[in-house]
Amino acid sequence: MNNPQTIFLILIGIITLKFLLDTVFSILNAQYFNKPIPEVLNGIYNEAEYLKSQKYKKENHRFSLITNTFTFVITLLFFLLDGFAFVDSIAKKFSTNTIGVTLLFFGIIFIASDLISLPFSYYKTFVIEEKFGFNKSTLKTFITDKIKGWLMLLVIGGGLLALITWFYQITTTNFWLFSWAIISVFSIFINLFYSKLIVPIFNKQIPLEDGELKKAIQSFSEKVGFKINNIYVIDGSKRSTKANAYFSGFGSQKRITLYDTLINDLDTNEIVAVLAHEIGHYKKKHIIYNLILSILLTGFTFYILSLLIGNTLLSQALGVQEASFHIGLIAFTILYSPISEFTNLIVNKLSRIFEYQADNYAKKQYNAKALISALKKLAKNNLSNLTPHPLYVKFYYSHPTLLQRILNLKK
């Protein structure tokens, strides 16, 4: 590791290995598409629905192979043609200030890669999801979502990046402590106010309407000591027919959000069971544990970054002679990715454990049968894969498979 060429080769090696691994796992998973459905899951789909779900899986598989290969080839070309040095020279033409150059540099790279991937995300929404009856998004929503996303990234991402670059300029060796602190404070803030500040930019949320459902939810929440005014309904149907529910925030800012599509698809009993699962996440303090874990991982990442960032070799490996923070950051992100692959494994494993705990809570406090029937309906309406490859589940799934969850609930 003492000359730029070696580091360049290591970077290319990591990118290639990651691409190959993802492709192999994806193909392995596809080998399981036609496996017989486990007996417990029989009856979720009828013949026609099952054929449709098979088509949906295959189409998505093919699409992700094409997108991943395309992205890989473009990335490789960008590295081989000294793309980073080129963008660096453009950024330096427009600014002489280090923070300005860093923001321009990442801004150009982000906008360019987002524009390149735009046709793919358009195709995914308006061709694949449309064909299978999931898409409810209009072109107008699609475009305004993009613009809102860009503006949010500009303000939040740009602000944080500017701060971190500034910390590096003024403190060098200790910059990781300051950066860690600011990112931690920011994560806690976003965790608390996500539903109040970020979600309204994209969706409408309203408190549950009066009626049979509200009554049923009320009597369950009273029983377990959860305030009903923390339960909201969101207009997920604005973009997709797929249904969901999630828990966010903590303390006075805690809330459960149910998609309007979920309320349409499930009966009262099933909705209360899903709600019981979400309350389970709250009672078992999963939000807090996830937040602590992510803050610890961030600190670790910044510490490793501080050890490497000053090294001129990182910049030289990407064709830029003098050491600079933004070029070093790119090289670091790739060098660090094998470690983050590993930490992702742990995070996913933990998330699957939490899902079992929330399911067990719903089983104990409410009704396992209702939750099983809700999960089956959701799987059917989302055309879920009932037979994923076990290795694929270990690497990529944040939730246990439907089969695993039902077997656990039936225990």
How many CB atoms within 10 Å of residue 191?
A: 18
Exposed e or buried b per residue across 357-394, where buried means at least 16 C-beta atoms within 10 angstroms of its C-beta: bbbbbbbebbbbebbbbbbbbbbbbbbbbbbbbeebbe
For residue 106, give both structure tokens. Answer: 């990442």
Catalytic pick from 265, 270, 278, 355?
278
> Closer to Zn ion at the Cβ: 358 or 409?
358
Which is nearer to Zn ion, 358 or 378 (by Cβ)?
Answer: 358
As measured in angstroms, the least distance from the Cβ of 355 to Zn ion is: 5
Output the smallest distance, CB 374 to Zn ion, in A. 12
Residues 357-376 that bind Zn ion (CB under 5 A): 358
Smaller CB separation from Zn ion, 273 or 317: 273
One character per residue 302-341, x = contact with Zn ion (rule: CB under 5 A): ----------------------------------------
Q: Give the Cβ contact number of residue 20 at 10 Å.
A: 11
Applying CB under 5 A, the span of 79-87, 105-113, 354-362, 370-378 interacting with Zn ion comes to 354-362
Minimum distance of Zn ion from residue 315's CB (angstroms):
43
Q: Which of 359, 346, 58, 276 is nearest to 258 (CA)?
A: 276
- Cα separations in angstroms, 190 against 183, 187, 193, 291: 10, 5, 5, 11
Q: Which of 129, 265, 270, 359 is catalytic?
A: 359
Name residue 247's beta-bridge partners.
Answer: 256
CB nearer to Zn ion: pick between 238 and 284: 284
Name the minimum Å distance from CB 408 to Zn ion: 13
| Close Cβ partners of 141 (under 8 Å, ≥ 6 residues apart) | 238, 239
95: three-class secondary structure by DSSP: coil
Binding mask 376-405 for Zn ion (x = CB under 5 A): ------------------------------
Radius of gyration of the chain (CA): 24
Q: What number of chain residues touch Zn ion (CB under 5 A)?
A: 2
Concerning whether 130 is annotated as a catalytic residue, the answer is no
Q: Tell me the three state secondary structure of residue 331.
A: helix
Please name which of 357, 371, 362, 361 lies closest in space to residue 402, comparing C-alpha atoms: 371
Q: How far is CA 180 from the centre of its chain?
A: 21
CA distance 317 to 23: 27
Half-sphere exposure at residue 376, Cβ-oriented, CA atoms within 13 angstroms: 18
- What's the closest the beta carbon of residue 271 comes to Zn ion, in angstroms? 15
Nearer to Zn ion, 68 or 348 (CB): 348
Q: Write down the least CB distance from residue 370 to Zn ion, Å.
A: 15
Comparison of 258 and 335: residue with beta carbon closer to Zn ion: 258
Nearest to 169 by CA among 106, 98, 102: 98
Assess whether 359 carries a catalytic annotation: yes
Residue 124 or 284 with smaller CB distance to Zn ion: 284
Minimum distance of Zn ion from residue 358's CB (angstroms): 5
Q: Are 73 and 116 in contact (CB under 8 A)?
A: no
Which amino acids are annotated catalytic?
A: 278, 359
Per CB under 5 A, residues contacting Zn ion are: 355, 358
